[in-house]
Amino acid sequence: MMVNGRRKARLVLQNGLVFEGVHFGAAGTRFGEVVFNTGMTGYQEILTDPSYYGQIVTMTYPLIGNYGVNVDDVESRHPHVRGFAVRTFCEWPSHHKLVDQLESYLVQHDIVGIAGIDTRELTKAIRTVGAMPGVITTEDLPVESLLARMDEALVPDAVKRVTTQTVYRAPGAGHRVVLIDYGMKAGILRALLERGCDVIVVPATSTAEDVLRWKPHGVMLSNGPGNPEDAPYAVEALRGLIGKVPIFGICLGHQLIALACGAKTRKLKFGHRGANHPVKDLRTGRVDITSQNHGYVVDADSLQGTPLELTHINLNDGTVEGLVHRHEPVFCVQYHPESRPGPSDARYLFDEFIDLMTRVREGRFAHA
Amino acid sequence: MPKRTDIRKIMVIGSGPIVIGQAAEFDYAGTQACQALKEEGYEVVLVNSNPATIMTDEHMADRVYIEPITLDFVTQIIRKERPDGLLATLGGQTGLNMAVQLAEAGVLEAEGVELLGTPLEAIEKAEDREKFRQLMQEIGQPVPRSAIVRNQAEADAFAEEVGFPIIIRPAYTLGGTGGGIASNWREYHEIVERGLTLSPIHQVLVEQSIAGFKEIEYEVMRDADGTAIVVCNMENMDPVGVHTGDSIVVAPSQTLSDEEYQMLRDASLQIIHALGIQGGCNVQLALDPHSSRYYVIEVNPRVSRSSALASKATGYPIARIATKIAVGYRLAELKNPVTQDSYAAFEPALDYIVTKIPRWPFDKFRSANRSLGTQMKATGEVMAIGRTFGESLLKAVRSLEIGAYSLWTKQSDKWSNVELEKKIRVADDDRLFAIAEALRRGVTVEQIHDWSKIDRWFLWHLEALVDLEQRIAAVANPRLPIEQVLDEHRELIHEAKRNGFPDRELARLLKADAMAIRAWRKRRGIVPVYKMVDTCAGEFAASTPYYYSTYEREDEVETSARKKMVVLGSGPIRIGQGIEFDYCTVHAVWALQREGYEAVVINNNPETVSTDFSTSDRLYFEPLDVEDVLNVIDREQPEGVIVQFGGQTAINLAGPLADAGVRIFGTSRESIDAAEDREKFDALLTELGIQRPEGRTVTTVEGAVEAAESLGYPVLVRPSYVLGGRAMQIITNTNELLQYMEEAVEVSQQHPVLVDRYVNGIEAEVDAISDGETVIIPGIMEHIERAGVHSGDSIAVYPPQNLSEDVKRIIEDHTIRIAQSLQVKGLMNVQFIVHDGEVEVIEVNPRSSRTVPFLSKVTGVPMVQLAMHAVCGGKLADLGYQSGRVPESPAVAVKVPVFSFAKLHQVDISLGPEMKSTGEVMGRDLVYEKALYKGLLASGIAIPAHGTVLATIADKDKPEAYPLLREFARLGYRLAATEGTAKYLRERGLEVRVVNKLAQGTPNLADDIRQGKIQLVINTLTKGLKPERDGFRIRRTAVEHGVPCLTSLDTVRSVLDIMKLIHFQTMALGDPVPGEAGGEGE
């Protein structure tokens, strides 16, 4: 079926809701958890953020692709989303950095897209029902058969699929930092390098010994996809690192620290994905607007009895956004201080990490 | 930190009259501020000179002062009220300047008044060009480089450092005479040399040019703890070089990558932190389209037109939140009023695109220079919301009410290729349409980009819309039934609707009838759904009753089973249809709610209170075009529609809506027609035995000449169906008439022209409320300027000062009988002319008029509320009212028009039948002269206490002018005049200095004005249509140098009355007693 010269496509949710639109990007059938992102810019960073591995992302902003794609706005080597759903994709992008159009970029990376659908209705469906499995297809398959295959949306062991397979080093003259890649956004590495760090990126499966062998001044835990409970190996490694070296965790890294300290995580109904989430620092009262992308969250009640102290909360729903270890040089946040896309209000956290490593090296870290 | 409890009483300063650059947005901001303060339990004292606003309603504040916003008056009010705090960042530049003056004069300190919100120091740093540049340099934010150079060598050094293009401005030459932009060395040397010569101090300011850069704005908020957020960013389609108020603007930005968006966001936040803003702030930036370089253009440390737009574009009420910050709250403590669940400390996410288009007054000022630049010229603006760029843009276009319903206008085909290029290169009000026409003629996007520097993103989207237009035109087939054509191209039609094409445009392209297309669409289910503006792109549940239409799947409107009514708003602010009608719309909503209805508003003006989503039960931000209104009616199924409060915009929709089967509440469509149709109206007056100036309706030039000769000159000529006296002229002879018929109007069978006998008398005006039986007349207003000056441009006085009780009784009688006979249900405005005790009716408007807010406030009669009672079928008698005049108030109030002439070059400031004012102020006191003094002062006319009066008087006016000028001389003013006037006055014994006319070489009277030797200009028009060059230039020179210029002797007489009041009279024994001057000629 063709509409105005384009092939028809459908997006089907597990609850049976069907959206008919036109196809853009690669053709085919892709299953994934359907989530929405409320950012108005930054689609290329979102596509290439490994935390979206296995997911179908819909953008709430209706015009996507306005400035095309370029070589700078990538958070990893290639897109990780399974599918991309938009109201309108831009056929006439304009930007001085532009190297390609969004559509050909998706074709090149075999990402199936759907356009022309009521993305606000889709967003509200996800908000009401919760993030759920779904499928985008350009094929003429009956809805029942698609619904029967919703298991294909599950992505076991997502972290292992997106982490680096090899250890590599980005040299610098400053603190030596081992960066554990659970599905790292390039922005985290960039933030460390900008601060002069000597960075060794290691796979998610690295043990505490693997990490400590580098004699790091600090360990940085990256973001990553999926449920933190699916990565017990990473929790195990962290148990061996806490207390031995300063640690800063972001997103999945933050959740893994919580698990390693005995707290629990739970799934949010539809997660936080966007560039406008207010986070309140409980110590100063100040609010930062942060970039977020997570479906799981640390359970605030489970912090009781752990050595972790709540430092930041989400102003909207009160969920845990930041923790600090009461005795050890360990802190972490649920949001993305490296931003990309999103506001850079929280970039200072990297400076605090540098400062923490300096204090520990100089023996100035005061154990509480 | 919660709200402060150490303050109890807060003064709010409004922005005064509507002028270009400062319009209804400050009524919206001020109203929100008052509401927010009262909500917190503070006692609110409001000062604003503008009676046409909602914010000056009696219940908006605890104490409302409609008084001049001048140091003296505000100081007096402060001393009387003794407020603890002052909130001045919500009243535009006027409010801010007043706060600075009060602080500098030591009043705030002496009276113990604390300036709330953004501190004075921050305001000064943001407003003072040099201090601001210095601050930007300190915090490393780039500003365009500039230098003052005294010779060619210094100029060369600057150019070598900065590169071209460079803007050159000679120091101390007015209006930048001799300046320019240089893009190479040759041009640079030429302009610098010329500039150094022209500058009286031989200095030239050279500045790096950023014309052609993208212009981006950020609306930011910050609290005292330093939490700061961006409410919205906006991108100007017109690059740097066109004032943002004159630019087409979209929100959010469309062509910025996230990296650029965040870079400019970081810059904006860094700036407001450095300034220490506490409240709202607007940051304007320029972004190089070829790199990621940017420059800071300017900062407004207050709410602004852009913040009103951002509030409506996002749903985030900036003024309300800024007010709460000013009284101590932190952003994280305030709930987001839209979701009621999340907090004010967050950044709105839009899931639609917003387009703003300015509304320019060039339809009124045909002689004005229409090119757009750094001086704003628009009087108002429209906003539209859509899910595609086309939908958003085309909705905005048809909201303008300029006769364009798409990217095609009636002029499009007529423009030559050369004209098109010029319109695109030098932006004017037609640029959008010129670009579309150029694309239609095959001009490439690259070429247009090269001419205009508009980002290709916009141009490509315009090209796609033109392409869609052509694809539709290609399937037109008038031989087939339209339904068949539409069925065969259903997808194409759907695509067109999704891109904002109205049925009218489809009808034009398919050569079919728009209503037939509409009927087909409804049968095929191609109808819009309504989506909510919720600040959060659907992420959180919201119940904001704020909607826009789009062609998608899910409709979100939650209607109730209660009975409801649709109120049509008045669209963009323009000359002739100003903020008064928004006042009426808002009151109509409140009155409906009081009558037990749900009130649904349709409007498209982002500046107003009526489009605050908390005003009505449901707000539809939509064009006021038949199709869009009918769509809302289809969705809402109201009992009916109310058209009488939305000015001519809403009245014009009554017919088409009634044709479509919609019930119009209030005065019937037939009655509206009977009042507006010349022949029916004449018949009615004849039947009632009421006189009116004799007139004819003509459809040919010959007919006009014949009519004028039989009526006798002078005659008043105008096209039928006019708004604000557009194209109306007083004509004194056949030659003028022929010229008028040729140049000013299009006369034909379809476009008749009215020729009336001109009566030279006193104009009076009445607004009445009628239920068809009882007719309440809250008051009669008398106009100071005689008939011939548009009522909107006249000074109006309540109660009348020169009308006898007999005349008042006749006016009362006529009003009652007209209202009863037309079966008026609601408001009616009648204009009278009084001449030798005879009362004649000039016109009847069966709707609310621009004087309703003024009259409501000075008489205390809740006019709109009563009118709505009648509209809804209630009886005024049941409320205890009876027909007739309400007893006059002991206080005298005057309404004084305010003009924006300083902003509009090449516009003649002389008053005539065509309306020119943009706003109004009110002066009220116990005696007429004091009220008038306040009114004139509030309107910005500084009445000089001494100095020189320059008189250039037309021969016909000399006898009348003489006693007035003699009076000036008696009060101690010096007189200066051109030869003829001087001779006339000297012959009558006055001492007069002769000044050269312009043609007589320098120094002439224009030089005198420029050099500050003249304090008041009195200039009357010689009869004739061609603006005679001398008079025109004298008036313009006066305006541009801030010297009051009076063109009506009636106004002069009033000014003299005031001067006599404010001067003590010094007389030698035996002198004639002054003030007995009136009437005598010799």
Per-residue pLDDT 10s for chain A (368 aa) are: 555 568 899 999 999 999 999 999 999 999 999 999 999 999 999 999 999 999 999 999 999 999 999 999 999 999 999 999 999 999 999 999 999 999 999 999 999 999 999 999 999 999 999 999 999 999 999 999 999 999 999 998 999 999 999 999 999 999 999 999 999 999 999 999 999 999 999 999 999 999 999 999 999 999 999 999 999 999 999 999 999 999 999 999 999 999 999 999 999 999 999 999 999 999 999 999 999 999 999 999 999 999 999 999 999 999 999 999 999 999 999 999 999 999 999 999 999 999 999 999 999 987 54
Q: What is the pLDDT of residues B240-292, one digit of tens each?
A: 989 999 999 999 999 999 999 999 999 999 999 999 999 999 999 999 999 98
Quote the CA–CA distance of A222 and A204 in Å, as a whole number: 9
Q: Which B residues, 210 through 229, put their C-beta within 8 Å of a C-beta on chain A?
A: 225-227, 229
- What amino acid is encoded at A225 in this protein? P
Q: Does A286 touch chain B (CB under 8 A)?
A: yes
pLDDT at B942: 79
Q: In this model, does residue B978 exceed pLDDT 60? A: yes
Per-residue pLDDT averaged across B58-73, rounded? 95
Q: What is the pLDDT of residues A14-52, one digit of tens each?
A: 999 999 999 999 999 999 999 999 999 999 999 999 999
Determine contact, residues B113/B325, Cβ cutoff 8 Å: no
Which of B259, B347, B457 faces A94 most closely, judged by CB atoms? B457
Q: In this model, does residue B1023 exceed pLDDT 60? A: no
Q: In this model, does residue B1024 exceed pLDDT 80? A: no
For domain A158-361, which CATH number applies: 3.30.300.30, 3.40.50.880, 3.40.50.850, 3.40.50.410?
Answer: 3.40.50.880
What ipTM was estimated for this complex? 0.97
- Among chain A residues, the shortest Cα distance to B456 is held by A94
Q: Does B254 touch chain A (CB under 8 A)?
A: yes
| Residue of B221, B259, B455, B492 to mutate for A, most A C-beta atoms under 10 A | B259
Contact A94/B261, CB-based, under 8 Å? no
| Residue of B229, B351, B547 to mutate for A, most A C-beta atoms under 10 A | B351
| Residue B990's pLDDT band (cuts 50, 70, 90) | very high
Contact B539/A60, CB-based, under 8 Å? yes
pLDDT at B1003: 83
Q: What is the pLDDT of residues B537-596, one digit of tens each?
A: 999 998 889 999 999 999 999 888 899 999 999 999 999 999 999 999 999 999 999 999
Determine contact, residues B798/B859, Cβ cutoff 8 Å: yes
Angle at B523 between CA B520 and CA B526, to 5 degrees: 80
Does residue A75 have an active-site annotation?
Answer: no
pLDDT at B885: 97
DSSP tag of B207: E
Contact B258/A287, CB-based, under 8 Å? no
Contact A61/B387, CB-based, under 8 Å? no
Q: Does B347 touch chain A (CB under 8 A)?
A: yes
pLDDT at B788: 77
pLDDT at B724: 46
Determine contact, residues B863/B879, Cβ cutoff 8 Å: no
Determine contact, residues A222/A204, Cβ cutoff 8 Å: no
Per-residue pLDDT averaged across B885-912, rounded? 87
Per-residue pLDDT averaged across B60-79, rounded? 96
Per-residue pLDDT averaged across B1-10, rounded? 92
Q: Does B355 touch chain A (CB under 8 A)?
A: no
Determine contact, residues B787/B793, Cβ cutoff 8 Å: no
pLDDT at B375: 80
| Percentage of the residues of chain B whose pLDDT score is greater than 70 | 96
pLDDT at B1025: 46
- Among chain A residues, the shortest Cα distance to B341 is held by A316
Instruction: Count contacts between A and B (CB, < 8 Å).
Output: 165
Contact A343/B554, CB-based, under 8 Å? no
Q: Which B residues, 265 through 284, put their C-beta within 8 Å of a C-beta on chain A?
A: 265-266, 269
- Using left for φ > 0, alpha for ψ between -120 and 50, and beta otherwise, residue A326 falls in alpha
Identify which of A215, A294, A312, A204 has the alpha carbon closest to the alpha carbon of residue A255: A294
- Among chain A residues, the shortest Cα distance to B554 is held by A121
Q: In this model, does residue B730 exceed pLDDT 90? A: no
Angle at B218 between CA B216 and CA B223, to 5 degrees: 165
pLDDT at B828: 97
Residues in B touching A36 (Cβ below 8 Å) = 538-539
Which of B261, B346, B461 faces A315 most closely, judged by CB atoms? B346
Residues in B touching A70 (Cβ below 8 Å) = 257
Per-residue pLDDT averaged across B185-189, rounded? 92
**pTM for the full model?**
0.94
Residues in B touching A42 (Cβ below 8 Å) = 257-258
Contact A41/B291, CB-based, under 8 Å? no
Q: In this model, does residue B745 exceed pLDDT 90? A: no
Per-residue pLDDT averaged across B72-80, rounded? 97
Q: In this model, does residue B1078 exceed pLDDT 80? A: no
Quote the CA–CA distance of B698 and B700 in Å, as a whole number: 6
pLDDT at B330: 95
Which residues touch B903 (CB under 8 Å, ≥6 apart)?
B19, B20, B21, B375, B376, B377
Residues in A touching B352 (Cβ below 8 Å) = 62
pLDDT at B720: 67
Strands B598-603 and B618-621 come out as parallel
Per-residue pLDDT averaged across B672-698, rounded? 90
Domain ranges of chain A: 2-153, 158-361
Dig out the tokens for B592 from the structure. Answer: 């409906």
Quote the CA–CA distance of B442 and B333 in Å, as a whole number: 56
Q: Does B2 touch chain A (CB under 8 A)?
A: no
pLDDT at B172: 67
Q: Does A130 touch chain B (CB under 8 A)?
A: no
Q: What is the pLDDT of residues B111-150, one digit of tens each?
A: 999 999 999 999 989 988 789 999 999 999 999 998 889 9
Determine contact, residues A143/A12, Cβ cutoff 8 Å: yes
Q: What is the pLDDT of residues A53-82, one digit of tens each?
A: 999 999 999 999 999 999 999 999 999 999
Q: How many CB atoms lie within 10 A of CB B909?
A: 18
Q: Does A63 touch chain B (CB under 8 A)?
A: yes
Q: How many CB atoms lie within 10 A of CB B1042?
A: 11
pLDDT at B912: 80
Does residue A251 have an active-site annotation?
Answer: yes
- Among chain A residues, the shortest Cα distance to B449 is held by A94
Which of A19, A289, A342 faces B229 most closely, judged by CB atoms? A289
Helix (H), strand (E), coil (C) string for B975-1000:
EEECHHHHHHHHHCCCCCEECCCHHH
Q: In this model, does residue B213 exceed pLDDT 90? A: yes
Q: Exposed, middle or buried, B269 (CB in 10 Å: 0-12/13-18/19+)?
A: buried
| Residue B1082's pLDDT band (cuts 50, 70, 90) | very low
| Residue B1029's pLDDT band (cuts 50, 70, 90) | low
Residues in A touching B253 (Cβ below 8 Å) = 41
Which residues touch B171 (CB under 8 Å, ≥6 apart)?
B148, B199, B200, B201, B203, B204, B205
Q: In this model, does residue B719 exceed pLDDT 80? A: no
For domain A2-153, which CATH number applies: 3.30.830.10, 3.50.30.20, 3.40.50.720, 3.40.109.10?
Answer: 3.50.30.20
Lowest-confidence pick of A350-359, B97-106, B1064-1073 = B1064-1073
Q: Which B residues, 98 through 157, put their C-beta within 8 Å of a C-beta on chain A?
A: none
The SS3 of residue B318 is helix
Domains of chain B by range and CATH? Answer: 9-121 (3.40.50.20), 145-208 (3.30.1490.20), 214-348 (3.30.470.20), 358-526 (1.10.1030.10), 530-665 (3.40.50.20), 694-754 (3.30.1490.20), 944-1082 (3.40.50.1380)
Q: Which B residues, 541 through 570, put their C-beta within 8 Å of a C-beta on chain A?
A: 541, 552-554
Q: CA A264: distance to chain centroid?
A: 19
Catalytically annotated residue among A251, A312, A325, A332? A251
pLDDT at B732: 85
Identify which of B542, B579, B566 has the alpha carbon closest to the alpha carbon of residue B618: B566
Q: Which A residues, 311 through 340, put their C-beta within 8 Å of a C-beta on chain B?
A: 315-316, 339-340
| Residue B169's pLDDT band (cuts 50, 70, 90) | confident
pLDDT at B678: 80
> What's chain B's average pLDDT?
92
Does residue A336 have an active-site annotation?
Answer: yes
Contact A123/B537, CB-based, under 8 Å? yes
